Structure 1
Amino acid sequence: MTNDTKLLVAFDFDHTVVDGNTDTWITKAAPGGDSPKALKDSYVTGHWTQYMGRVLQHLHSEGVDASALQQVLQGLPYTAGMEQLFQHLAQCAAHCIILSDSNTQFIEWILQDRGHSSLFSKVYTNPARVSDQGQLLLGPYHSHSCPTCPVNMCKRLILQQHMQQHVLRSQAPYCRVAYVGDGSNDLCPAQSLGPTDIVFVRAGFALDKLLQKPEVACSVQAEIVRWQTGHDILQRLQAL
């Protein structure tokens, strides 16, 4: 595969690369291993990042600092077959990116711990930093006008901008885009892909349930491939 005909593989992170949700996994570090009901009830649909800011503030008030969060997150397992998939993508020199509603710190801690940071040329996610007091501070990725996506992130817009920047750099588009995800916020980028692209949909999760509706499935031009492990994705990519 030449430099101007690269395959782009775009990954979601939670319930895709890792077999769980980083944002809910960290509550294992809380006293009692869970968040108070009043805090959970404060979540407003589409405003998850603001909610997570309150969760992180609560954890810090309970004496849980960033180092404790890092330790807990390093126990979050990869989805089965992901490491083998990553090895293949590194060998075939595909371009790999992450588009995630998690945050920079959570993803960095996990990828660095397992030696996969260098595989991804870009990680598009919510910015996070550790304060001088050891609290993890979280912000939104961007603002946008998409009516269907969370207020802090439209993955379609991010994916399109990434692809446009690639064309400017290489003077050629990607030969094919493979999008790997599981959640409802992965539908918008999936709908932006063309008939030569592939959307890998994790079986049994929110995106899969959405695409079982005929009126939703017909809005996706790309080939839809249901997957349970990274081995399923690897098998389809090897057949390209």
Structure 2
Amino acid sequence: MTTPIPKQLVVYDFDWSFVDQDTDRWILEVLSTPLRRELQTLNEEGKMQYTDIVAHCVAKLQATVGSSRQEIEDALRSLPVHPAMKRAVLALKAASYPQTTLFCLSNSNQVFIDVILKHHNLTDLFTRITTNNSHWNEDGKLIITRRIAPDAPKQHGCKIGCSANMCKGEELEAFLAEKKLAGDDYSRVIYVGDGGNDFCPLLRLRSTDLALVRKGFELEQRIKKEGGLKCQVKYWTMGWEIEEHYAEGGIARQL
């Protein structure tokens, strides 16, 4: 007999999981090939934390290339989102059973995510978005900073390989603990991800939970190399397969 699932949490990474691109790299590919190469080079050198690299390149994009807020936001609006992914998440929101909470847990940043969601009329999709900080200042410049600042008194203690800006496993556990205190105890957690930093939260999932892992990315490699997961794992390549997984698993259905 199938165990009833009255409430479920669906967690989305953003880049290459909810959308079909990497937001940080995309705006540079649209607006400045030299800065896209600089981001790649700095990342490969490994001397700077990745969020700091993005902040550096975006600052140069505005200062030296002269890209405006409008141009940056237009670049973000052009980033591809699979239509089946949109259908899938809207079906989750509309389904009367199970009741679904959607949580975005991303190493992108708040402005990038907000612009894209607004463009696709999905502003109210996620109950919460946990990501890196960003805002437009009075001079119209986009300022990007780490979720956990390098000089913050409390740093995360992750040993699984999360970057210094955020431990996704700790963020997920904190969200679940907060919701449980508020009376939302989820019978099932579904995690949609692709990156190596999504491995840490997957280690914290239960046997009743499900990881939907995008093929061909670092998360798939880490699962196969390191193992240790209790949750179920299914793989996908394109957004239509996510919609298919949701339909087949009874993850979104009307009563």
TM-score (norm 1): 0.90
- Cα distance in 2 between the residues matched to 1:46 and 1:185: 17
- Cα distance in 2 between the residues matched to 1:229 and 1:41: 29
Question: Residues 79 and 183 (structure 1 numbering): CA distance in 2 closer, same or farther, change over 3 Å?
Answer: farther
Question: Residues 36 and 96 (structure 1 numbering): CA distance in 2 closer, same or farther, change over 3 Å?
Answer: closer
| Structure 1 residue 132 displacement after superposition | 1.5
- Cα distance in 2 between the residues matched to 1:208 and 1:19: 17
User: C-alpha deviations, 1:37-66, integer Å up to 9, x for none?
Assistant: 555433326711011111011101121122
- Cα distance in 1 between the residues matched to 2:83 and 2:219: 19
- In structure 1, the gaps of 5 or more residues are none
2:122 is matched with 116
| Structure 1 residue 86 displacement after superposition | 1.3
Which residue of 212, 215, 237 corresponds with 1:200?
Answer: 212
| Structure 1 residue 231 displacement after superposition | 2.9
Q: Secondary structure at the match of 1:102?
A: strand
User: C-alpha deviations, 1:205-230, integer Å up to 9, x for none?
Assistant: 111122222xx22x110000001223
Provide the aligned length of Structure 1 versus Structure 2.
232
- In structure 2, the gaps of 5 or more residues are 149-154, 251-255
| Structure 1 residue 120 displacement after superposition | 0.5
| Structure 1 residue 35 displacement after superposition | 1.0
1:133 is matched with 139
The amino acid across from 1:56 in the alignment is V
Question: Residues 48 and 194 (structure 1 numbering): CA distance in 2 closer, same or farther, change over 3 Å?
Answer: same
Check the 8 A contact 2:88/2:246 in 1, yes or no. Answer: no
The 5 A counterparts of 1:1-240 are 5-31=6-32, 33-35=33-35, 37=37, 40-43=40-43, 44=46, 47-61=49-63, 62-79=65-82, 81-92=84-95, 93-142=99-148, 143-147=155-159, 148-170=161-183, 172-213=184-225, 216-217=226-227, 219-238=228-247, 239-240=249-250
Check the 8 A contact 1:84/1:231 in 2, yes or no. Answer: no
Check the 8 A contact 1:29/1:68 in 2, yes or no. Answer: no
Q: Secondary structure at the match of 1:132?
A: coil
Question: Residues 36 and 20 (structure 1 numbering): CA distance in 2 closer, same or farther, change over 3 Å?
Answer: closer
Aligned-residue Cα RMSD (Å) equals 1.8
- Cα distance in 2 between the residues matched to 1:38 and 1:114: 30
Q: Secondary structure at the match of 2:62?
A: helix
Q: Which moved more, 1:230-239 or 1:109-118?
A: 230-239
- Cα distance in 1 between the residues matched to 2:77 and 2:70: 11
Q: Which moved more, 1:195-204 or 1:74-83?
A: 74-83
Q: Secondary structure at the match of 1:25?
A: helix
User: C-alpha deviations, 1:84-142, integer Å up to 9, x for none?
Assistant: 11121111241001000000000000001101121110000001001112111011112
User: C-alpha deviations, 1:155-175, integer Å up to 9, x for none?
Assistant: 1001000000110101x5201
- Cα distance in 2 between the residues matched to 1:45 and 1:195: 38
- Percent identity between the two aligned chains: 29
Check the 8 A contact 2:12/2:18 in 1, yes or no. Answer: yes
- Cα distance in 2 between the residues matched to 1:37 and 1:13: 22
